[in-house]
Structure 1
Amino acid sequence: METLFSSVGANRKDYIMMKDQIHDINLHYKSLLKKIGHHNARKLRYKKILTSASKTSSREIFEKICDFKNGISPNDLTDLIKKMTNASTWIGHTYLRYLISHVNFTSYGNSISNSDKVEDILEHVRRGIPLNGRYSHDDIFKAIYDECELRHYFPDHKPALRIPKTNVTVVLISGVLNEIFSTAAFERGADHLCQISHAKYITTNVKGTKSSEHNSELIAKQLTKYIDENPEEKLWLIGFSKGGVDALHFMRNHRIFCERNVIGLSTVASPILGSDHVNNKFIGVLNQLHKLSDNPIYKYIEETRGTLGPEFQKSLSSSHQRVWFRHNHQELPKSPFYTSVAFESSWYESHLWMILTKLIFRSRKSNDGVVDVENATFPSYFNGINLGILRGHHLVGTRSSHFCQEALMESHLIFLKYLGLID
């Protein structure tokens, strides 16, 4: 009898062990299927981006060539070369990413699992329930951004948040030397946002090598004309890099217009308090060129293209811009909101050009390759909303970048809608 019970007990233990092993195998199998699904999703995402890059580039070049039927000028030829260079860079970069996606089985983006804190934030945001100071603004924004990013990296992820509708008009204001790119900074993200939220977007034509005072008047002229033609629209300014500084100067100089027509300004990687890099030795060498200011050739170049002259540098210098903001922040219009987000990246995470800038403009402080994080956020004495720091280098706003611009735009809209700052 004892032998019989011992045999039954042993069989039961074997059964339990076998059941646990089968359970573990099922878990591993499901995990493997999920990883394969994510891998295929990434390949599909990069394939779509590659297809879009090829079609868009071909269309732009074809349209430019068609414009030559009435003759070609040196500026037309330069523009064509720029478009072809940008197109080849975009397609080549995207194709490389697409090839790598076939052999890259590591996770990309954020983990699908959330902490209790993040789940609590998302539930309150989803239901529109105030958190009453339980979490900081940057905690809330980061939770929203990560959730938005998940929906793009993992198509099988069930979204916890919906993208709200809005009739606002987004105004993109780009930064230094954006003229070398085919589109405004973060235009790809803005275009996506408008497709899913009923918003509109426009771009401003600013000079990347001119001072903020100069550009503030360009912005004023363009937006005044736009509002004259569209008097019912409200503007949401999004300033990237120096574009954010230009926007601040515009709002300071045209306060009444902004009180009536601008609902807010969101800066992205903008040197709100200036940049110490303009004091770099490299800039010092460049300044030697300005000793030729009486030369006719110099004057022509300065008037037409700009040469990073003294007024331009003053707009970015921390010794000037930090003082400017302290002296002028109370003169900014009161009704619009002000938000900021900063980027940071290690040198090995950066774009090639950002690696070079990190070598030229060395900084011990956290930065995105160009702007130090501490200068990209609003100071404590100003009633601005700092949305925290995201991983990314300073060129993630280009259309060839694989940074999730779509998630950045979506998270801004959701956050602002949750706080009641945007209709």
Structure 2
Amino acid sequence: MQDNLGNYLSRARRSSDFLKHSIKTTLEDIYFDSKQLILSPGPTQLFQLTKDAIGSTGWMANSALKHFLTLSGLLKAPDGIKGDVEAEFIVKKVSKNIPLDPKRYPPAKIFSALYRELEFSYVHPNHKSRLQCPKIFPTIVLVSGVLNEIYKTASFERGVQNIGKKNNLKYIVATVSGVKGSDFNSGQLAEQLFEYHKHHPDEKFWFLTYSKGGIDVLYFLRDHAEWSCKNVVGISTLATPILGSRHLNKRYIRMASKLKRDLSEFGRNYLGQELDFFSEAFQRSISTKQRSWFFKNYHKLPTNIFYTALALSCNWHEGHIYMMLAKLMFPSDTINDGVVDADCAFFPKYFNAINLGIYHGHHLIAARSSSFSQEALIEAHLILLKYKYLI
């Protein structure tokens, strides 16, 4: 009883802190955007203020709802690993850096135990976990996906920042276009990374990518394999359509065709670039054409770095309102997160990679405003990769 009460109060504090943070950040964003609009009136500034006002107030409302559900006991908390003998055994061994039988305990099983333990710790701050977030030597490169320009921060940047407060993680955010194909973004990545590396020649890079950002990095690794062999330790993809996404094909193309002119004009006026979702390059990066691209190009990817992949899944009524609409607009018979089919988010069996499994979450969990435990997901990656001597 005392343990349950302690967990409840701990969850309530976490929920309250998240709500306070959302209110504080929202007010700061709206104040800054309002000031910019006054100093430099124009459609771009007005769009930015409107976008942030809608998005941030939605964040506050969602945080308030989650806080209410937490206080009322209606929001189900993660169970953790208590009582799961095998998971407790894995966490104990990993925490002491004791090797596990790789046949009995493959990376996906280890990762699952780590994530469940860390997720419980994140939701219940009073829980003292055996696991400690390790220090790593590579610099993390965050690469976001489609329409990343509309967000204030990069995908999973909030999680990386919070973990960095504990172990001094070093990371950079790569700027890629959220509306162009992966061929174009490969060039963008090359310009930024080569320039950065000139000033930091001793640093190695670990790509932590989300959604289409993972495809962009795969193109980069293919185009610059020799440089990557020397300077990249690995890539971890999260909800990336490595083999394309089946359920976006026909309906997406029909919709994009109808909206092409309006999207292009909107992009020029408010985002500073055309939103050409109907371009062949963009389609190839997210449709099933990506499957054939990977088969034709996988042998050109660096072989001395690691590759990991993780997929997401959610029901149509769960999570963000945008994901509910996506589920209704782009229905699929297979498990998906509202955008990407889970089976397409894994590397194929013929490629030497580590597929970490499917985890509960919709396709917008990487946003700053998401209440998803980004920290737990990233920290589980760090611990597993360090345990396997990959970083």
Is it true that 1:149 corresponds to 2:119 in the alignment? yes
Q: 1:253 & 1:226 partners in 2: Cα distance?
A: 18
Q: Name the counterpart of 1:324.
A: 293
Is it true that 1:211 corresponds to 2:181 in the alignment? yes
Gaps of 5+ in 1: 1-30
Q: Name the counterpart of 2:144.
A: 174
Q: Name the counterpart of 2:58.
A: 89
Q: Name the counterpart of 2:12.
A: 43
Please tell me whether the aligned partners of residues 264 and 338 of structure 1 are also in contact (alpha carbons under 8 angstroms): yes
Equivalent of 2:47, from 78, 83, 86?
78
Q: 1:35 & 1:129 partners in 2: Cα distance?
A: 32
Is it true that 1:341 corresponds to 2:314 in the alignment? no
Q: Helix, strand or coil: the match of 1:280?
A: helix
Q: 1:245 & 1:114 partners in 2: Cα distance?
A: 39
Letter in 2 for 1:225: E
Equivalent of 1:382, from 351, 362, 386?
351
Q: Name the counterpart of 1:305.
A: 274
Q: Name the counterpart of 1:17.
A: none
Letter in 2 for 1:221: E
TM-score with structure 1 setting the length:
0.86
Show the 5 A alignment for 1:54-133: 54-67=23-36, 70-104=39-73, 107-133=76-102
User: How many Å apart are 1:303 and its aligned residue?
Assistant: 8.5
Letter in 2 for 1:212: S
Q: 1:255 & 1:172 partners in 2: Cα distance?
A: 19
Q: 2:111 & 2:192 partners in 1: Cα distance?
A: 31
User: How many Å apart are 1:106 and its aligned residue?
Assistant: 6.0
Q: Helix, strand or coil: the match of 2:317?
A: helix
User: How many Å apart are 1:289 and its aligned residue?
Assistant: 5.4
Q: 2:363 & 2:187 partners in 1: Cα distance?
A: 26
User: How many Å apart are 1:235 and its aligned residue?
Assistant: 1.4
Flag the structure with larger Rg: 1
Q: 1:224 & 1:106 partners in 2: Cα distance?
A: 46
User: How many Å apart are 1:202 and its aligned residue?
Assistant: 1.6
User: How many Å apart are 1:340 and its aligned residue?
Assistant: 0.4
Letter in 1 for 2:141: V
Gaps of 5+ in 2: none
Is it true that 1:140 corresponds to 2:110 in the alignment? yes
CA 1:377 to 1:283, structure 2 compared with 1: closer, same or farther past 3 Å? Answer: same
Q: Deviations over 1:302-353 (max 9, x none)?
A: 99222202221111111x1111111111111122211000011112223221
Q: Name the counterpart of 1:247.
A: 217
CA 1:41 to 1:253, structure 2 compared with 1: closer, same or farther past 3 Å? Answer: same
User: How many Å apart are 1:140 and its aligned residue?
Assistant: 0.6
User: How many Å apart are 1:84 and its aligned residue?
Assistant: 2.3
Please tell me whether the aligned partners of residues 280 and 361 of structure 1 are also in contact (alpha carbons under 8 angstroms): no
Q: 1:91 & 1:350 partners in 2: Cα distance?
A: 15
Please tell me whether the aligned partners of residues 160 and 169 of structure 2 are also in contact (alpha carbons under 8 angstroms): no
Q: Helix, strand or coil: the match of 1:347?
A: coil
Equivalent of 1:264, from 234, 247, 255?
234
Q: Helix, strand or coil: the match of 1:61?
A: helix
Is it true that 1:184 corresponds to 2:149 in the alignment? no
Show the 5 A alignment for 1:354-365: 354-365=323-334
Please tell me whether the aligned partners of residues 181 and 398 of structure 1 are also in contact (alpha carbons under 8 angstroms): yes
Equivalent of 2:193, from 215, 223, 233?
223
Letter in 1 for 2:21: S
Letter in 1 for 2:159: G
Letter in 1 for 2:169: A
Q: Deviations over 1:15-41 (max 9, x none)?
A: xxxxxxxxxxxxxxxx2x222222211
Identify which range, 102-111 or 63-72, moves more after superposition.
63-72
User: How many Å apart are 1:65 and its aligned residue?
Assistant: 4.1
Q: Name the counterpart of 1:273.
A: 243
Q: 1:330 & 1:127 partners in 2: Cα distance?
A: 37
Q: Helix, strand or coil: the match of 1:47?
A: helix
Equivalent of 2:375, from 395, 403, 406?
406
The structure that is helix-richer by fraction is 1
User: How many Å apart are 1:282 and its aligned residue?
Assistant: 4.1
Letter in 1 for 2:296: H
Please tell me whether the aligned partners of residues 108 and 357 of structure 2 are also in contact (alpha carbons under 8 angstroms): yes
Q: Helix, strand or coil: the match of 1:206?
A: coil
Q: Deviations over 1:274-310 (max 9, x none)?
A: 11123232422422556x79xx969968992222022
Please tell me whether the aligned partners of residues 239 and 340 of structure 2 are also in contact (alpha carbons under 8 angstroms): yes
Please tell me whether the aligned partners of residues 66 and 75 of structure 2 are also in contact (alpha carbons under 8 angstroms): no
Q: 2:229 & 2:132 partners in 1: Cα distance?
A: 30
Q: Deviations over 1:172-220 (max 9, x none)?
A: 1111112222211111111112111221122122111111111111111
User: How many Å apart are 1:384 and its aligned residue?
Assistant: 0.7
Q: Helix, strand or coil: the match of 1:342?
A: strand
Letter in 1 for 2:71: H
Please tell me whether the aligned partners of residues 143 and 209 of structure 2 are also in contact (alpha carbons under 8 angstroms): yes
Letter in 1 for 2:206: W
User: How many Å apart are 1:70 and its aligned residue?
Assistant: 5.0
CA 1:351 to 1:66, structure 2 compared with 1: closer, same or farther past 3 Å? Answer: closer
Letter in 2 for 1:115: D
